[in-house]
Amino acid sequence: MSHRDLEDLLEDVEDTREIVLGAVAPAQPRHELYAVWEAARVEANDAYAGWLAAGGREAYAAYRAAADREDAAADALAHVRVSA
């Protein structure tokens, strides 16, 4: 798949404004957005490792998409008021 093919494919995906969680271990009760950010961080780290191992545009695009999700989760988390 070429870079242009990947861009064309992603342009056709509708943004549903939904957050999809991966597997999150129920260790301690935390704020939901923290769990979202933590899952996104793990996914971004895995995608980065995959890009380093495999290289190529597709692996890089997967890493950047995962990093963007992590950034979005971090932004949402930054706006949460935490009570002590």
Domain annotation covers residue 54? yes
- Number of folded domains that form the chain: 1
Domain annotation covers residue 24? no
Domain annotation covers residue 65? yes
* Tens digit of pLDDT at every position of the chain (84 positions): 676 776 776 677 677 766 666 665 555 445 788 888 999 999 999 999 999 999 999 999 999 999 999 999 999 888 876 665
Sign of CA dihedral 61, 13, 69, 34: negative
Domain annotation covers residue 37? yes
Domain annotation covers residue 11? no
- Tell me which residue range forms the domain holding 74: 29-84
Mean pLDDT for all residues in the chain: 80
Left if phi > 0, otherwise alpha if psi is -120 to 50, otherwise beta: which for 56?
Answer: left
DSSP string of 1-16, one letter each residue = --HHHHHHHHHTS---
Domain annotation covers residue 48? yes
In this prediction the pTM is: 0.61
Q: How far apart are CA 8 and CA 24, in angstroms?
A: 32
Domain annotation covers residue 52? yes
